[in-house]
Amino acid sequence: MLKIGEFSKLSQLTVKTLRFYEAEGLLVPAAVDPDSGYRFYETDQLMQAAQVKCLRQLGLSVAEVGLALKGEDMRPLLLKKAGELQEQREGIEQRLAIIDHLLKEETMTYQVVKKEIPACIVYSAETVLPTYADAMSWIPQLGQEMRRLNPDLACAEPPYEFCEYLDGEYQATNVRIRHSESVVDFGVESDSITFREIPATTVLSVLYRGAYDGIGEAYAYLMKYAQDNGYEPAGLSRECYIDGIWNKESVEDWLTEIQLPIA
């Protein structure tokens, strides 16, 4: 029989790890001296130790290893672990691609992040505006009408408000636009305002600072970023106006978030 120190060297498992596996019932000593407490292992337990070590290196939990040692079918556990490792590999490859994308840039003008937008109820309205700039007067009018129809209906917290351009491409005039703002519940509708529930959405997000006539550059960057990193668009892009004419004196301080829904 082998003392625990000898067994540790042969199995390449630390004494601390062997004591842990003993406590978990994975690798119990063949004998324990009642007086000294010394632990002894049989040489044939080295095979069991190798099996435990192998399964743990694959990322299986102690409980899963225990099931394997009891003779449970390992295929479901291994298939599950293979799926988890595949997801990790895809995540690592995606991050490496993003790092490569950033390293190729001469200057990091924009920073793209992936974020989750939770499902929410929104009130919405659609119209055709003469120009993009007219949205800044149209949107407040919608808010006033919504509050007139629903004086007790509160906006959701944190707030979420965005515009979508329904033409799918840039239009200098006759801009088809839809504005939406999240609220806590459905309310009274009108000819112009309706309520709908939008599902949880994963988006790529980029922040743009400055006048709206230069925002096309940020859009182009975001679309190229999505293409270069294997993201598939899954809906119309959204503009969220964080700072603007209502709270900033200089157009250089206007801040807009562009969100691109992805599959």
Sign, CA torsion 235/236/242/246: negative
- Kindly state the percentage of the chain with pLDDT values over 70: 97
What confidence category does residue 208 fall into, taking pLDDT thresholds of 50, 70 and 90? very high
pLDDT given for residue 38 in this prediction:
93
- If one counts every other C-beta atom within 10 angstroms of the C-beta of residue 65, the result is 22
Q: Which tokens hold the place of 70?
A: 């009891």
The pLDDT tens digits of the residues spanning 163-206 come to 999 987 777 789 999 999 999 999 999 999 999 999 999 999 99
Distance between CA 154 and CA 29 in Å, rounded? Answer: 65
pTM over 0.85: no
Query: Stretch 13-35: mean pLDDT, rounded?
Result: 93
pLDDT given for residue 131 in this prediction:
87
Which of 179, 258, 181, 182 lies closest to 218, judged by CA?
258
Contact 257, 207 (CB under 8 A): yes
Q: Tell how many helices (H) and how many strands (E) occur in the chain.
A: 7, 11
- Asked if pLDDT for residue 108 goes beyond 80, the answer is no
The pLDDT tens digits of the residues spanning 130-167 come to 988 888 889 999 999 999 999 999 999 989 999 999 98
What's the chain's average pLDDT? 89
The pLDDT tens digits of the residues spanning 71-89 come to 888 888 889 889 888 888 8
Query: Stretch 215-231: mean pLDDT, rounded?
Result: 88
- The pairs formed by 28-37 with CB atoms below 8 angstroms and a separation of 24 or more are 29/4, 30/1, 31/1
